Amino acid sequence: MRLAYLAAVSAAAILSGTLAATAALAGPAYGAWGVDLSARDASVKPGDDFFAYANGTWDKTVKIPDDQGSTGVGYDVYNKAQDELRAIIETSAKAPKTATARQIGALYNSFMDEARVEALDAKPMQADLAAIAAVKDRAAFTRLMAESHAGMGASLFGLQQFPDAKTSSVNALYIGQDGLGMPDRDYYLTEGFKPQRDAYAAYLARTFTAIGYPDPEGAAKAVLAFETRVAEVSWPSDERRDIDKLYNPMSVAQLNAYAPEVDWGAYLAAVGLPGKTEVVLAEKSAVQKIAKLYGETPLETLKAWETFRLVDNASPYLSKRFADSRFEFRSHALQGTEAQRPRWKRGVQLVDGSLGEALGREYVDAQFPPESKAAMEQLVANLKTAMAARIDRLSWMAPSTKAQAKDKLARMQVLVGYPNKWRDYSRLSLDAGDLYGNVKRSSAFEWAFQMAHVDKPVDAAEWGMTPQTVNAYNGGLENKIVFPAAILQAPFFDPKADLAVNYGAIGAIIGHEITHGFDDQGRKIDATGSLRDWWAPEDAARFEAEAKKLGGQYDSYEAVPGSHINGKLTMGENIADLGGLLVAIDAYHKALGGKPAPVIDGLTGDQRFLMAFAQAWRDKARADSLKQQMASDPHSPSQFRAIGPTRNIDLWYAAFDVQPGQRYYLKPEDRVRIW
């Protein structure tokens, strides 16, 4: 997750219009200058635990809300955005004035009509359950499984459209592994996840019992055994990051020969791509082995599996007994969450996920002034300039590699706030009295939108996130970075905060997204967004050696007793965190215009910069939530997103007088130096 400034002046002084006027009326959202000093634990030496130094008092006293798996600044900003969306949605629900407002209101009202949802109970999904039960052979099941991409069920194969990695101007269809009901293969195969595995077995049986399925216990055991076999042949999460291994183009004829247990022509026709002749396999060997399992598994087991996945996916939109049963496993057993979220929050999430840009357009009009967009665009330009200077100064990189790196950076597109062209949802039919139908039609509408991109030119201006998303991303195969409007809130960005604070928070996030273009996978992509090796061999060897050293550091971090971070899985994010912080430091120093930063509350500019960085990652998570994250998420837990990068930066040692013997001290020669 997760603007331009001049010399040593406050952020407010150089912003104009609404933001500057607001800045003159009140102080920053956090503390006197943008950092919450009351959250700090000054009894902790920064070199022993920089996260605790910056956030320790907060961490000791904060309580994670019962309906959340974690809490912290990211959740604070997210909850604020959800409240703002709720106001927009409820206005539309009560008094719609436009066609879009009527759609928003119809979808929200259908979810909030709890009495109707309870009265209907399991009835809305009966036709879908009957369709599964009616399947008589594997050919029919193949079609049904393929059609589930646009509906409520599931498939053993994931399909997505992305730019073709070798011809990035055109979208290709990628086929990969799928089929697991738990978050990652490790949940099936390792002893550490046995409690979650047992809870899953209970959820399976509970679900089959709830719909009156024959022999629910036997069906549950068969499904778990089948998914375990799928897990055994699936690629681990860290292997699924390697873009070279994920690019395996082949014709459909070749795919039929490679994985003959599936009629791929029929499958692709059923997903909406009749006559498709070329695809890209992602997890190549896993697709072949899962197809083989598909051919070996009794049809009745496959039908039980599809039935469970349908009910599991449908449960949030059914009566309380289904929704609560799902919560008991997916939120409580997997993440430790104690209570179901209020219904309005779930309703807002449904509208947000189904009518994202329609809702986003309303959100931008209400919450995102033009001055924010202009200021962010200028700040991104400043960070790109700082990155170019860092590339120039690299002593270990050959001039030929530097030239291509700078070309990629110069051609990196920047999208801020919201798309210039909004999506049209006018053909999506929504009915205030038909929640289940609304969800199915929304799913089909989105699937058709995605499949319409296949084999078409890439639209570089299209967004993969909505404006109200509290996050940012690097679209690697499009060579672009995207910053939705909602990320531009305190503590990430605050026009009333100190210069050092904004560079340490939103500046480091911008630097992070830029650096993704040059992380262990991004570096394999050239300026056009195509997969190509543009590195001098000795430069690549040096990069890989430093990356391996960084991975070793993260492997040593124990975020939960007995559970370590996977340095290979998190490599790209860790490199981006380190590089982003370095780029932001350079941009901050340049913004001072050669003048010394003032000392505020006894803290130098560099100390305030680093404190802001650490507080931007302030988060407290439940142990089960962290375990799930470390099993499948390429991001390190927030504590180590504050600790991991800073201990590799010389400035941190000087700013906080970090000395040998302190826990996270590294000798200069042991500090990782990539970008």
What is the length of the chain? 675
Q: Is the peptide bond preceding residue 491 cis, with omega within 30 degrees of 0?
A: yes
**What pLDDT, on a 0 to 100 scale, did the predictor assign at position 4?**
24
Whole-angstrom Cα distance, residue 157 to residue 172?
A: 16
**What pLDDT, on a 0 to 100 scale, did the predictor assign at position 524?**
98
Q: Kindly state whether residues 269 and 394 are assigned to the same domain.
A: no
Whole-angstrom Cα distance, residue 522 to residue 397?
A: 17
In a domain, 538, yes or no: yes
Q: Kindly state whether residues 247 and 377 are assigned to the same domain.
A: no
Dmax (CA) of the chain: 78
Q: Minimal CA–CA distance to 566: which of 551, 583, 581?
A: 551
Span 122-159, pLDDT tens digits: 999 999 999 999 999 999 999 999 999 999 999 999 99
**What pLDDT, on a 0 to 100 scale, did the predictor assign at position 11?**
30
450 in Cβ contact with 462 (< 8 Å): no
Q: Kindly state whether residues 532 and 638 are assigned to the same domain.
A: yes
Whole-angstrom Cα distance, residue 173 to residue 280?
A: 6
In the predicted model, what is the mean pLDDT of residues 74-82?
Answer: 97
DSSP letter for 78, please. H
Q: Kindly state whether residues 375 and 332 are assigned to the same domain.
A: no
Q: Kindly state whether residues 199 and 290 are assigned to the same domain.
A: yes
Domain CATH number, residue 252? 1.10.1380.10
Q: Kindly state whether residues 321 and 405 are assigned to the same domain.
A: no
Q: Kindly state whether residues 302 and 376 are assigned to the same domain.
A: no
In a domain, 552, yes or no: yes
Domain CATH number, residue 658? 3.40.390.10
Whole-angstrom Cα distance, residue 333 to residue 316?
A: 17
Span 625-659, pLDDT tens digits: 999 999 999 999 999 999 999 999 999 999 999 99
In a domain, 16, yes or no: yes
Q: Kindly state whether residues 194 and 336 are assigned to the same domain.
A: yes
Residues 6 or more apart in contact with residue 341 via CB below 8 angstroms = 67
**Dihedral angle over CA of 590, 592, 595, 597, nearest 10:** -120
SS (H, E, C) 22-55: HHHHCCCCCCCCCCCHHHCCCCCCCCCCHHHHHH
Q: Kindly state whether residues 20 and 135 are assigned to the same domain.
A: no
174-183 burial, b at 16+ Cβ within 10 Å, e below that, comes to: bbbbbbbbbb
Q: Kindly state whether residues 45 and 143 are assigned to the same domain.
A: no
If one counts every other C-beta atom within 10 angstroms of the C-beta of residue 137, the result is 8
In the predicted model, what is the mean pLDDT of residues 440-446?
Answer: 98
Q: Which amino acid is at 253?
A: A
**What pLDDT, on a 0 to 100 scale, did the predictor assign at position 9?**
24
pTM of the predicted structure, to 2 decimals? 0.94
- Residue whose token pair is 């201006």: 461
- Provide the token pair at 648: 């590799």
Asked whether the predicted pLDDT for residue 577 surpasses 80, the reply is yes
Asked whether the predicted pLDDT for residue 258 surpasses 80, the reply is yes
- The DSSP line for 327-369 is HIIIIIIHH---SPPPHHHHHHHHHHHHSHHHHHHHHHHHH--
**What pLDDT, on a 0 to 100 scale, did the predictor assign at position 6?**
20
**What pLDDT, on a 0 to 100 scale, did the predictor assign at position 618?**
97
In a domain, 423, yes or no: no
Confidence of residue 470 (pLDDT cuts 50, 70, 90): very high
Domain hosting residue 321, numbered range: 123-340
- The DSSP line for 629-658 is HHHH-SSPPHHHHHHHHHTT-HHHHHHHT-
In a domain, 3, yes or no: no
Residues 6 or more apart in contact with residue 416 via CB below 8 angstroms = 373, 376, 377, 380, 482, 483
Instruction: Point out the domain boundary residue: 300, 324, 340.
Output: 340
Q: Which amino acid is at 69?
A: G
Instruction: Point out the domain boundary residue: 296, 321, 340.
Output: 340
- Provide the token pair at 97: 């004035």
In the predicted model, what is the mean pLDDT of residues 308-317?
Answer: 98
**What pLDDT, on a 0 to 100 scale, did the predictor assign at position 12?**
28
**What pLDDT, on a 0 to 100 scale, did the predictor assign at position 24?**
41
pLDDT averaged over the chain? Answer: 95
Q: Kindly state whether residues 414 and 285 are assigned to the same domain.
A: no
In a domain, 359, yes or no: no
Confidence of residue 353 (pLDDT cuts 50, 70, 90): very high
In a domain, 626, yes or no: yes
Confidence of residue 372 (pLDDT cuts 50, 70, 90): confident
The per-type count for the chain, helices as H runs and strands as E runs, is: 30, 11
Asked whether the predicted pLDDT for residue 302 surpasses 50, the reply is yes
In the predicted model, what is the mean pLDDT of residues 99-118?
Answer: 98
Span 1-25, pLDDT tens digits: 332 222 222 232 223 233 333 334 4
Confidence of residue 515 (pLDDT cuts 50, 70, 90): very high
Percent share of the chain, pLDDT over 90: 95
125 in Cβ contact with 314 (< 8 Å): yes
Span 475-490, pLDDT tens digits: 999 999 999 999 999 9
In a domain, 111, yes or no: no
Span 175-193, pLDDT tens digits: 999 999 999 999 999 999 9
Question: In 35-193, where does DSSP find H-type helix?
Answer: 50-61, 73-94, 99-112, 114-120, 126-133, 138-147, 186-189
529 in Cβ contact with 61 (< 8 Å): no
Structural domain count, the chain:
2
Whole-angstrom Cα distance, residue 281 to residue 609?
A: 44
Span 582-605, pLDDT tens digits: 999 999 999 999 999 999 999 999
Q: Kindly state whether residues 200 and 145 are assigned to the same domain.
A: yes
